Chain A
Amino acid sequence: MSTTTTSPAAEPTTLIGKSADYLDQRTKMGVLAKQLVRKVFPDHWSFMLGEIALFSFVVLLISGVFMAMFFDPSMALTTHHGAPATMDGQLMSVAFSSTLDMSFEVRGGLLMRQIHHWSALIFVAGIVVHMMRVFFTGAFRKPRELNWLVGTMLLILSLLAGFSGYSLPDDVLSGNGLRITDGVIKSIPIIGSYLSYFVFGGEFPGEHIIPRLFTVHILLVPALILALIGVHLFLMVLNKHTQYPGGGRTDKNVVGYPAVPAFATKMGGNFFIIFGVLALMGGTMAINNVWNYGPYDPSPVSAGAQPDWYMLFLEGSLRLMPGQAEIVTWGDYTLSLNILIPAVVIPGLLFTFLFVYPFVEAKVTGDHREHHVLDRPRNVPTRTGLGVAFLTAFVILALAGSNDLIATHFALSINTITWVFRVLFFVGPVFAFWVTKRICLGLQRKDRELVLHGHETGRIVRFANGEYIEVHRPLDEQERWLRVNFEARRPLEIEPATDARGVKRKGYKKDKRWQKLSQFFYEDRVEPVTPAELAAAHAHGEHDELEPAHDTPELVSGSGTVEREH
């Protein structure tokens, strides 16, 4: 009962208190707890999009463990006996047969399979919506560039996890997907055929690929994902979460709610809600009924042969590429550009854009400050336009990958659809960029108008001299602050080409290129309203009478008198 504390602190009496004391005496946990327990987190629904990915990953782990108890990843052949009737007595791999048993014999087995597959689709979708939010609000700027890279790596790993996962049952649909993968691998110059042997342990399909994918899917990829999620969350807690612009929110503070209890409870509740949605979908909406496709055999193929949605961009680019691009080089070697371009170059370009964007943007702004207050997308028109253009390209490719379903559902010719998408792939993103940028600039101008002239109240006032005006209610401080608190960046200024003595400066050409890119980003801009401009607007207000500015908006019901300002 002796205490080693020097101050006469009270002995802990509750169970929690005693446990905390026990741990602290061995780990100095108190230091950590002090940082975290009442840590302030800003509250906005768009900050919960990353949680979609995080919590669906947890559901994947839970349902995955269940399935791993029943799935047997062997390609050995067996005769299946049992449900469903269409598979009874058929020869198939043990992997496929164990999947059927799990679905039809194990209670809750099909539920878990379906929850797992829906969760996988939602996992990648959650990463995408979260990434969109981060991109459009500029949360990737310093000090969060590293976290952006970690996140993009997580996106790639999620694609790998999904691909390896849905190939495990060894059915015709995913097996043809593996065949396509083999074809893409073979097309790689010089090492392609050897790489194909490496992956499949011999010729396609061999008997090694399913067990190898199983190891990749339950061990290697989840380990990497968990490690990177750890880094991702650690960096987020270390840098503290970003916040939307508003009153009292600066780059030097965080305004929000403490972790314990409100924030943690909402996060926990969100987990249960997400899990609930996934359980509801898994129980009522059929997905990946592999017994409809049948066990993998190189002969059959089904109409509507596509991979899961997140791989559709690859499928679409493979479908759109014209075949003439395969060439035979001197020396009689075959260079399959018709496969390399859609399967390697295009995804390479898309992912490179994602990886380098924060650094490109930092370079064209010359901005090395830390940023913790987010941008409103309208205030960064070029970035928003580029993001929309990227998404447009991605969506067009995904639609191109579904061209046969579009053809049957809208009674169109699949050949026409392919041609339309071939053109749209180039034209669409450019058009989307232009439209988005114009919309952003327009919204910014609308904001300026609002700040300068206030809300239209709809009240018309007639003066004795016969003049009619509409009364405008000025913005309150919070509303105005939201619309003026941003930086309209200007293009980079660079040092002149020649120095004082007329000697040409080294590195000028490179600086000039960056300046040109910076001009593309920031030449067209709308600046925020200044107090002087607002005063000027008041002064010449023949058309818009402004009621005296107030701090709270409640004051503007219909009864105030209107005075003419002099």
Chain B
Amino acid sequence: MKALAARRHHRLAPVVLLLLALLVTGGVYAALAPSPAQADTASTADIETGKKLFQANCATCHGPNAEGTTQAPSLVGVGAAAVDFQVSTGRMPMQMNGPQAESKPRQMDEEQTAALAAYVASLGAGPAIPTDEQVDGSEGDAANGMALFRTNCAMCHNAVGAGGALSEGKFAPPLWDTSSRNVYQAMLTGPQSMPVFNDANITPDEKRDIIAFLDEQDQGSAGGLTLGSLGPVSEGLWAWIIGIGLIIGGAVWIGAKSS
């Protein structure tokens, strides 16, 4: 009685099966997808180690001597700071092409990153990794940092660093989970679409002031929930969802006949 059995299935059954199949396929891929090769490393951060790591992970795009190819720019002169930023945020090695390289879980640990940075720094002089004191927000002036941030940074990253849109699918990411060191290094090296804010434009003290300002944002808002600090659009959305929602709910209750 095949026809009978067929009619017993819910008409949405094929859709559910398809969704399940997609989920399973995706899950299996995520679990079993090959991760890029990791070279064996020595525990000392030295230029040789860095060179080996570079050739295993970076040379395919950046060229065997980091001179650049059509796919990726030259790294001669970008400095240790650029490498530390890109690799510690996981942006590099870049895994898929898109409007921009996005931060993802880092592939290289601290030592490997330091080795890579040392190698690239040896290829040409460039910005160095800042010291802990240079990036210590508690030494900075948050008020001056705010004045600098809103002139130089807020138009892309939003007034308090919530992130913002650029053209053609690119974006400036939120800054709240970014380490102080990476904030400093990003300003210094100007990754991807971000312009370069060298030390003549924003001095090292001013960079620290900006870090102090961003640290202040960890405290949240004096007014309660920040709602993402996205501005009037999200405020309007919540006004409708929560405000009008609760009030109309109240009106329905008031108008309903009591039992």
Contact = CB atoms under 8 A, between A and B. Distances in A.
A–B contact with Cβ pairs below 8 Å: the answer is yes
A306 B233 CA distance: 7
A513 to B, nearest CB: 39
Interface string A279-297: 0010111111100111001
A299 B165 contact: no
B96 to A, nearest CB: 13
A411 B240 contact: no
Top 5 nearest A-B pairs (CB, nearest first) are A303-B164, A309-B236, A45-B255, A286-B223, A413-B169
A324 to B, nearest CB: 18
B176 to A, nearest CB: 13
10 contacts: A48-B251, A52-B248, A86-B142, A89-B143, A121-B243, A122-B244, A303-B163, A308-B232, A404-B165, A413-B167
A277 B247 contact: yes
B223 A413 contact: no
Interface in B55-104: 99
The binding surface of chain B is classed by DSSP as helix
Contacts of A118: 239, 243
Given A51-B251, A288-B232, A304-B233, 9 more contacts: A48-B255, A85-B216, A114-B224, A121-B235, A122-B243, A125-B244, A129-B244, A129-B248, A270-B254
B41 to A, nearest CB: 34
Interface string A361-388: 0000000000000000000000000000
B216 A286 contact: no
Contacts of A305: 231
Interface of B: 99, 142-143, 145-147, 150-151, 154-160, 162-169, 171-172, 213, 216, 221-227, 229-240, 242-244, 246-248, 250-256
Given A273-B247, A277-B247, A281-B243, A302 B223 contact: no
A326 interface: no
Give the secondary structure class of A's interface.
helix
Contacts of B237: 309
A277 B222 contact: no
Contacts of B168: 413-415
A52 B240 CA distance: 12
A155 B140 CA distance: 48
B231 A45 contact: no
B243 A303 contact: no
B222 A84 contact: yes
Interface of A: 43-49, 51-52, 84-90, 103-104, 110, 114, 117-118, 121-122, 125-126, 129, 172-173, 266, 269-270, 273-274, 277-278, 281, 283-289, 292-294, 297, 299-310, 312, 401-405, 407-408, 411-416
Chain A CB within 10 Å, residue with most, of B172, B222, B243: B243
Q: Interface centre among A87, A304, A306, by most B CB within 10 Å?
A: A304
A70 to B, nearest CB: 16
Contacts of B247: 52, 122, 126, 273-274, 277
